[in-house]
């Protein structure tokens, strides 16, 4: 079944050629027919008049007209001074368009009357025949070209329909380098991004469900024990589990917000050293370095610093060293602990949501969404995060952010 787009494009090409040909024939007919150049007719008639013998009798004139007539392709006649017909030639095929004749005076006082048909000769055939030939050739040439074009559009449509039906792995073939190929490439990028986002959400939901079970189970057990033994220790355990649950839910919501809405909060110039120092003071830590401004959302940058500090306190060993440095158009925030560090095989996965070292279970100590949020916030501000292993042990997490002026370009980009 041919697509309607294919037929529309194909018929549009044929119709355009037909309209152009018909218009051309009409224009030529008007210019050469109704508005014929009588000066050119007169020159043509003068040449015929010069070939007639002067003072010849009607029989000789008739003989000359019979010779000149077929070559001229027109109606010829010689009239005397009174307008009487002396000799006449009629072509075998009558002239289709009869215009006023051109009269050429002869030296002996007689007049040559000549009526020609544009373009100065008898009809050379039906003009519809070359039109039909040209249209047929155009139709044959346009068919494979238009079919190739619309077949690629059909493949793109099939890919979109398959993806819309639930096959998130469906991709459009990229053929050529024209606009259709660009559309197919854009669709593939969008489909891949949506597939990655959906897969990440599924993984987040699955991991979150698992992570929520632990504090919920401990909270349920703590409530049951508190009913039988309402001691301050039991109450403290319940509060701790509630805080852990609240923090986990907040991280899940923030991660989902960053994944879908991006950096939607208003940006402003932030002194990173002052921001980190305030957060570190709440944990009883000190910050070294120099003052440097970045452009971003203060609440998110504060969350980034808090997660790095909590990660060092929770998974590393003291002392925890925090430093803010200034590089070329960049600001670096480094948080280092002196714990066991991150194993080399796990360094590329430590920023994944709910990462667990070596893939072990609850006993291994899950890293939750803390470092995953750090990566999301850093990349959302045009920066990056990495983990290093110092020579004397421990782990050093380094966040790199553009300086305020460079960060403005990040915020303004589409």
Task: State pLDDT tens for residues 47-61.
Answer: 777 777 777 788 888
User: What does DSSP say about strands 293-296 and 330-337: parallel, antiparallel, or unpaired?
Assistant: unpaired
Highest mean pLDDT among 2-11, 71-80, 149-158, 285-294: 285-294
pLDDT at 322 over 90: yes
Question: Quick one: which of 183, 167, 165 has its CA closest to 175?
Answer: 183
More confident residue, 17 or 77: 77
Highest mean pLDDT among 94-98, 116-120, 240-244: 240-244
Residue 386 has what pLDDT? 92
Q: CA of 45: how far to CAs of 38, 60, 101, in Å?
A: 10, 19, 10
- Lowest mean pLDDT of 68-77, 174-183, 360-369, name the range: 360-369
In 3-state terms the chain splits into helix, strand, coil percentages (rounded to 5) of 55, 15, 30
Given a contact cutoff of 8 angstroms between Cβ atoms, the answer to whether 145 and 117 are in contact is no
- Residue 134 neighbours by CB under 8 Å, 6+ apart: 17, 21
Residue 40 has what pLDDT? 62
pLDDT at 79 over 60: yes
Residue 264 has what pLDDT? 67
- The percentage of residues in the chain with a pLDDT greater than 70, rounded to a whole number, is 74
CA distance 241 to 217: 9
Q: Which strands form 321-327's sheet, in the order they lie side by side?
A: 287-289, 321-327, 330-337, 395-402, 384-388
pLDDT, tens digit (0-9, with 9 covering 90-100), for 354-405: 766 654 434 344 456 788 888 888 988 889 999 998 888 889 999 999 988 7
Mean pLDDT over residues 101-125, rounded? 69
More confident residue, 374 or 119: 374
Residue 262 has what pLDDT? 60
- Got the DSSP string for 247-268? HHHHHHHHHHHHHHT-S-SPPE
Query: What is the pLDDT of the chain when averaged over all its residues?
Result: 76
Residue 26 banded pLDDT, cuts 50, 70, 90: low
Strands (DSSP E) along 184-280, which ranges?
268-271
Looking at domain 171-261, does it have CATH number 1.10.10? no
pLDDT at 11 over 90: no
CA distance 17 to 12: 9
Given a contact cutoff of 8 angstroms between Cβ atoms, the answer to whether 57 and 64 are in contact is no
Residue 121 has what pLDDT? 41
**CATH class, 265-412 region:** alpha beta
Given a contact cutoff of 8 angstroms between Cβ atoms, the answer to whether 99 and 87 are in contact is no
Which pair of tokens denotes residue 101? 């004749």
pLDDT at 408 over 60: no
pLDDT at 135 over 80: no
Task: Return the residue matching tokens 């009809």.
Answer: 123
Mean pLDDT over residues 305-326, rounded? 90
Residue 269 has what pLDDT? 92
- The percentage of residues in the chain with a pLDDT greater than 90, rounded to a whole number, is 13
How many Cβ atoms from other residues are within 10 Å of residue 394's Cβ? 21
Given a contact cutoff of 8 angstroms between Cβ atoms, the answer to whether 333 and 348 are in contact is no
Question: Quick one: which of 389, 392, 274 has its CA closest to 333?
Answer: 274
Which pair of tokens denotes residue 339? 């714990």
**Residues for the chain: how many in total?**
414
pLDDT at 339 over 50: yes
If phi over 0 gives left and psi between -120 and 50 gives alpha, with beta otherwise, what is residue 88?
beta
pLDDT, tens digit (0-9, with 9 covering 90-100), for 257-282: 666 656 667 889 999 999 999 999 99
- pTM, to two decimals: 0.50
Residue 287 banded pLDDT, cuts 50, 70, 90: very high
Residue 288 has what pLDDT? 92
**The dihedral sign for the CA sequence 143, 145, 151, 154:** negative
CA distance 46 to 59: 21
- Residue 109 neighbours by CB under 8 Å, 6+ apart: 80, 81
Domain ranges of the chain: 171-261, 265-412
Asked if domains 171-261 and 265-412 share a fold, the reply is no
Residue 206 banded pLDDT, cuts 50, 70, 90: low
- Lowest mean pLDDT of 99-113, 271-285, 310-324, name the range: 99-113
Burial class (CB in 10 A: 0-12, 13-18, 19+), 78: buried
How many Cβ atoms from other residues are within 10 Å of residue 151's Cβ? 13
Mean pLDDT over residues 179-188, rounded? 83
Residue 362 has what pLDDT? 40
Residue 410 banded pLDDT, cuts 50, 70, 90: very low
């Amino acid at each position: 079944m041919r697509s309607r787009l294919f037929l529309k494009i194909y018929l549009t090409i044929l119709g355009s050629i037909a309209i152009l040909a018909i218009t051309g024939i009409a224009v030529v007919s008007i210019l050469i027919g109704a508005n014929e150049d009588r000066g050119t007719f007169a020159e043509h008639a003068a040449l015929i008049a010069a070939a007639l013998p002067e003072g010849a009798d009607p029989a000789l004139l008739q003989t000359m007209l019979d010779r000149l007539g077929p070559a001229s392709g027109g109606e010829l006649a010689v009239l005397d001074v009174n307008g009487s017909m002396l000799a006449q030639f009629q072509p075998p095929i009558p002239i289709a368009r009869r215009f006023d004749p051109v009269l050429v005076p002869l030296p002996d006082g007689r007049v040559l009357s000549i009526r020609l048909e544009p373009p100065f000769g008898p009809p050379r055939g039906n003009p519809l025949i070359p039109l039909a030939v040209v249209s047929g050739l155009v139709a044959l040439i346009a068919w494979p070209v238009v079919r190739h074009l619309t077949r690629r559009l059909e493949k793109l449509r099939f890919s979109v329909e398959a993806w819309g039906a639930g096959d998130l792995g469906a991709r459009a073939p990229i053929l050529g380098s024209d606009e259709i190929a660009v559309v197919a490439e854009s669709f593939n990028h969008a489909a891949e991004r949506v597939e990655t986002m959906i897969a990440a959400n599924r993984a987040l939901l699955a991991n979150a469900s698992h992570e929520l079970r632990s504090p919920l189970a401990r909270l349920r057990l703590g409530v049951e024990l508190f009913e039988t033994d309402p001691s301050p220790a039991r109450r403290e355990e319940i509060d701790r589990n509630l805080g852990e649950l609240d923090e986990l839910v907040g991280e899940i919501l923030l991660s989902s917000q960053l994944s879908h809405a991006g950096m939607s909060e208003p940006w402003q110039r932030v002194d990173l050293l002052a921001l980190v120092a305030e957060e570190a003071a709440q944990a009883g830590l000190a910050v070294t370095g120099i003052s440097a401004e970045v452009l971003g959302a203060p609440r998110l940058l504060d969350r980034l610093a808090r997660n790095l500090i909590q990660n060092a306190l929770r998974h590393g060993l003291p002392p925890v060293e925090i430093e803010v440095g200034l590089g070329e158009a960049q600001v670096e925030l480094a948080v280092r602990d002196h714990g066991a560090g991150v194993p080399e095989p796990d360094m590329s996965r430590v920023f994944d949501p709910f990462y667990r070292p070596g893939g072990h279970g609850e006993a291994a100590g899950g890293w939750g969404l803390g470092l995953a949020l750090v990566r999301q916030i850093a990349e959302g501000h045009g920066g990056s995060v990495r983990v290093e292993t110092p020579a004397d042990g421990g782990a050093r997490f380094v966040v790199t952010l553009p300086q305020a002026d460079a960060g403005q370009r990040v915020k303004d980009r589409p």
